[in-house]
Amino acid sequence: MERTLVLIKPDAVKRGLVGEIITRFERVGLSLEEMKIVNATTEIVEQHYPDDKNWIRSVGKKTLDTYQKYNLNIVEDLGTDDALEVGNLIRRWLIHQITSGPIIAIILSGNHAIEVARKIVGNTVPLFAELGTIRGDFSIDSPDLSTKEKRALQNLIHASATIEEAKREISLWFEV
């Protein structure tokens, strides 16, 4: 038995996808343990997406890879091709995005809940996410577009990636 943290982000709430998203977790057999609507503060989102150089660099790298794949020039759009600098910009946009409207915070539990939830959520980049996943079925966003528009990817949802991340995030969002 595992527990994982899911956040339904403002872009999904605004589009009225909350029921659809919860249905997908329920029908696979995951259980809803806790759920609440939150207007997240900057402070909590800064802790959720921590000021950690490795993570920030990996987020920046995803953008660089996408630009390379489509033969686009990131320096033209952002003035830099440094993964850490790009990642820092994205982190700022992300904090702005998650605090831009109500979100739903959920604790899901079940057999291999962390892995199963990530599988249902799909690839970080909606353009690359398989059909049948939440991100693949409901979004076509990509880092080249979001970077041009100076905003985070609209990928609808967050789900913890590892056991440690799930523990940390559950105690950040819930008093359990």
What are the residues binding ligand ATP (CB under 6 A)? 59, 62-63, 90, 94, 124, 143, 146, 152-153, 155, 158-159, 161
In terms of Cα–Cα distance, which of 156, 162, 147 is closest to 79?
A: 147
Q: Could you tell me the smallest distance in angstroms from the CB atom of residue 161 to ligand ATP?
A: 5
CA dihedral 133, 138, 144, 145 (to 10 degrees): -170
Active site residues per annotation: 158
What are the start-end ranges of the H helices in the chain?
A: 10-14, 18-28, 42-48, 53-69, 74-78, 83-98, 113-121, 134-138, 143-148, 163-173
Q: Could you tell me the smallest distance in angstroms from the CB atom of residue 8 to ligand ATP?
A: 11
Token duo for residue 98: 């998650």
Cβ nearer to ligand ATP, comparing 40 with 159: 159
Cβ nearer to ligand ATP, comparing 28 with 93: 93
Q: Could you tell me the smallest distance in angstroms from the CB atom of residue 119 to ligand ATP?
A: 12
Q: Which residue has the tokens 């990636």?
A: 161
Cβ nearer to ligand ATP, comparing 4 with 110: 4
